[in-house]
Amino acid sequence: MHTQGFLAMLLALPLVAFGDAYSAKVMADKPVAYWRFSEAKSPAVKSVVGALSGQLNQSLPPGPRPLYYPEFSKDN
């Protein structure tokens, strides 16, 4: 059926969108909500999964860097 192929393609989209190994592992667990704080240029943070948005109350220090954590994206 074409419907099954279309559904499989839609389910794979979040994995392709980020392209780093850490995100792929998180998405494989099918989380209810998932935020990528590396994209937080403003206090508002959109959820990658789910319809929950967040609000940062303080600035965040940079996260783990790929040199020591190779599965994280460069802009983490």
Percent of the chain with pLDDT over 90: 4
Mean pLDDT of the 11-16 span: 45
Classify 37 as helix, strand or coil.
Answer: helix
pLDDT tens digits for range 25-60:
989 999 988 877 666 566 777 777 877 777 777 766
Sketch the domain layout of the chain as residue ranges.
Answer: 2-55
5-to-17, 18, 63 alpha-carbon distances in Å: 19, 21, 37
Classify 58 as helix, strand or coil.
Answer: coil
Q: Are 27 and 49 in contact (CB under 8 A)?
A: yes
Classify 45 as helix, strand or coil.
Answer: strand
Encoded tokens for 56: 């940062």
pLDDT at 30: 92
pLDDT at 21: 84
> Element (H or E) spanning 27, and its range?
helix 21-28
